[in-house]
Amino acid sequence: MERKVFIFDTTLRDGEQSPGASLTASEKIEIAHQLARLGVDVIEAGFPASSPGDFNAVCEIAKSVKGPVITALARAVRSDIDAVWESVRYAERPRIHMVLGSSDIHARSKFRRSREELLEMGVQAVRYARTLCPDVEYSTEDASRSNRQYLFQVVEAVIDAGATVVNIPDTVGWSVPAQWGRLISDLRRNVPNIDKAILSVHCHNDLGMAVANSLAAVKAGAQQVECAVNGLGERAGNASLEEVVMGIKVRQPYYRAHTDIVTSELCPTSQMVSRLTGLAVARNKAIVGDNAFAHSSGIHQDGVLKSRDNYEIFSPEDVGANGTTIVLTARSGRHALKYRLESLGYRVTTDDLEHLHTRFLHMADAKKVVDDHDLHALMVG
Ligand code: KIV
Ligand code: ZN
């Protein structure tokens, strides 16, 4: 049976932690409204304990953005949990999200506590958060490097304590898809109360695997994916929201799942986030890059002009992109040249085309890309 995958957007929290991406409160609010138009299920609006400015930005988002669940991040300590609650409580649907390490590396070198002490700290924090808010998410930081049996024990204990969502992060981007999918299946098999909470993943991109790991988790039964617009996030970033969403949509029969994202808002959202963070999107970025629907070689241009589906697996309109573009270079053939000339209003006979194509190739060898001005010059020259 097909199931819904919840999209938890962390552009305004983990994404904003990208070096160079910090946002003002009004920029965060503008993006949060766009995320609501995009149809995300959850907006993680910030880390309120980090600064008064971020606290206020989360309050404003909670007050004004309708539709998605509004959450924010806390460490598993009362003062952070209070700061989250005081900022998200204005939302139609507030959630407290807390994080605590589960790996021995973090226990030893970050917290200097035993596994048992950390488990108890997590359980107490969840119990406390549940006295404030009916929706509490618990993240087992560094889950991919955690001892499996201990991870199962933590997940069971925090669900018993009242966690409604359990998020399994690959905090350092260490996992690989088959292994990550297996971990999700193992959690579903080995944690007796797992069906009492939503099972979520949060993958980082240190080895370029964040989207592949997230989708492997979906295939294995994860119900929520945490991701960020344009793949923003700490270091190499988080799973890119647009890639996760289109992966599920385009290969829906494989995943047997869907999201409620309004995919025609993907490019407008990407452009807004890029403009406000000042972080450019690579031209060749999947889904939202400028080249995502640009065809440059003669073979591909001929194919796509005969039938779009020869070389495009979804349409530009599906993701709110401008359209298919035929880029004229020295690799372009007669068909593409004729198409571009005709779209500029010229009539081109088969005899003309032979001779125009020869002159076009000389021009294209001299320039990297032949643009509309060059084509007008070609026709008058
Ligand atoms: O990467 C991580 O582990 C996080 C958690 C707060 C979910 O960002
Ligand atoms: Zn993260």
Band (pLDDT 50/70/90 cuts) for residue 101 is: very high
In the chain, where does the domain assigned CATH 3.20.20.70 lie?
Answer: 3-277
- Ligand 1 atom at minimal distance to the Cα of residue 141: 3
Indicate if ligand 1 lies below 6 Å from the C-beta of 224.
no
What is the bridge-based pairing of β-strands 294-295 and 325-326? parallel
Tell me the average pLDDT of the chain: 97
User: In degrees rounded to 5, what are phi and psi of residue 220?
Assistant: -85, 0
Mean pLDDT, range 354-373, rounded to an integer: 96
Half-sphere exposure of 56 (CA within 13 A, CB side): 8
Residue 1: its pLDDT value, please?
A: 74
Q: For the range 278-281, what are the long-range contacts, defined as Cβ-Cβ under 8 Å and sequence gap of 24 or more? A: 278/20, 278/21, 279/18, 279/20, 279/21, 279/230, 279/232, 281/230
User: Ligand 1: distance of its center to the CA of 169 in Å?
Assistant: 6
Mean pLDDT, range 341-367, rounded to an integer: 96
Considering the entire predicted model, what is its pTM? 0.96
User: Ligand 2: distance of its center to the CA of 365 in Å?
Assistant: 46
Mean pLDDT, range 132-137, rounded to an integer: 98
Token digits of residue 314: 């979804």
User: Ligand 2: distance of its center to the CA of 205 in Å?
Assistant: 10
Percent of the chain with pLDDT over 90: 98
Q: What gap in Å lies between CA 263 and CA 261, rounded to an integer?
A: 6
Closest protein CA for atom 8 of ligand 1: 14
Judged against a pLDDT cut of 90, whether residue 381 lies above it is answered with: no
Closest protein CA for atom 6 of ligand 1: 99
Mutate to test the pocket of ligand 1, among 139, 174, 238 (most ligand atoms within 8 A of CB): 139
pLDDT tens string 198-257: 999 999 999 999 999 999 999 999 999 999 999 999 999 999 999 999 999 999 999 999
pLDDT tens string 43-74: 999 999 999 999 999 999 999 999 999 999 99
Residue 351: its pLDDT value, please?
A: 92
Q: Which fold has domain 294-380?
A: Recoverin; domain 1 (1.10.238)
User: Ligand 1: distance of its center to the CA of 235 in Å?
Assistant: 12
Residue 26: its pLDDT value, please?
A: 97
Judged against a pLDDT cut of 90, whether residue 150 lies above it is answered with: yes
What DSSP line would sit under 300-365, residue for residue? HHHHHHH-GGGT-SS-GGGGT----EE-B-TT--HHHHHHHHHHTT----HHHHHHHHHHHHHHHH
Mean pLDDT, range 310-335, rounded to an integer: 97
Indicate if ligand 1 lies below 6 Å from the C-beta of 14.
yes
Ion ligand 2 — residues with CB < 5 Å: 14
In the chain, where does the domain assigned CATH 1.10.238 lie?
Answer: 294-380
Q: What gap in Å lies between CA 250 and CA 246, rounded to an integer?
A: 6
Band (pLDDT 50/70/90 cuts) for residue 184 is: very high
Q: Which fold has domain 3-277?
A: TIM Barrel (3.20.20)
Band (pLDDT 50/70/90 cuts) for residue 196 is: very high
Indicate if ligand 1 lies below 6 Å from the C-beta of 169.
yes
| Contact call for residues 166 and 146 (beta carbons, < 8 A) | no
Closest protein CA for atom 2 of ligand 1: 171
Mean pLDDT, range 278-299, rounded to an integer: 97
pLDDT tens string 79-89: 999 999 999 99
Token digits of residue 234: 């700490």
SS3 226: strand
